Amino acid sequence: DVRFIESALAYALNCINWKNIREDEAKQERERITRDLHDDVGALLLTLIHKAESEENTILAKNALKGVRDTIYSLRDDNFATFNATLSNWREEIVQRTDAAQVKLLWNIDEFPDNYCLNPRQRINLDRILRESITNILKHAHPQTIDICINEKDNKLQIIIIDDGISSDSSQWQANTGLCSLYARAKEIKSDINWETLDVTSAWDKGTKLTITLPYMEK
């Protein structure tokens, strides 16, 4: 099913050690994987979308297909996305999810120059980090409001996500698969990621604050 395909895809990509393959071989391997993903997995997911018997399965298949396309995008070294375009995509997806969950979204974004870009790996890893973080908030915290702030500070890109939902001491969280994946994705793009539990001494009274920082890059 769709979840199995997503898991198999993630496993296959993580098994590839690019450092142990010469650059020319790595390029050929990336091109081969790109073709396979497009021709095989992409085609299968399109079939699932057309044959899905429920709206839920259609959405799952579409999300899986988007993941495949993002992965194909990330395998190309020359695909640099402007950050403003990426921000627009993030907002569109998050608005859909918060609206569906009847959660208020506050979107506070600084202006970024047109020459500010993310490389393919930065973009896809941040996509996945944000998606998983929003999933965790909606699933476990049940907030009324989510506040997302994205700005440049001290020559670094800073992404802050605050929710006013159910919280617990972040220092006591167990490093489960999802949390380990977030740390791994952040490390891969030389990013820092940390959580802070909010209390009555903060402006929000309760909830959790997630902060992601990574080097600021212009192209």
104 and 198 share a domain? yes
Predicted TM-score (pTM) of the model is 0.68
Q: Which of residues 32, 51, 74 is at a domain's end?
A: 74
Pair 105, 125 in one domain:
yes
| 60 plus 165 within the same structural domain | no
Domain that holds residue 46: 2-74
What is the pLDDT at residue 143? Answer: 94
Query: Are residues 160 and 200 located together in one domain of the fold?
Result: yes
Quick one: tokens of 218?
């212009």
Encode 79-95 in three state secondary structure. Answer: CCEEHHHHHHHHHHHHH
Residue 92 is part of a domain; what is its CATH number?
3.30.565.10
Please report, in tens digits, the pLDDT of each residue of the chain (219 residues total): 556 566 656 655 565 554 555 556 656 666 666 666 656 566 666 676 667 677 766 776 677 767 666 666 656 655 567 899 899 989 998 998 899 899 999 999 998 988 888 888 888 899 989 999 999 999 889 999 999 999 998 889 999 999 999 887 766 666 666 788 899 999 999 999 999 988 755 666 679 999 999 987 655
Number of domains the chain contains? 2
- The domain boundary, picked from 74, 95, 128, lies at 74
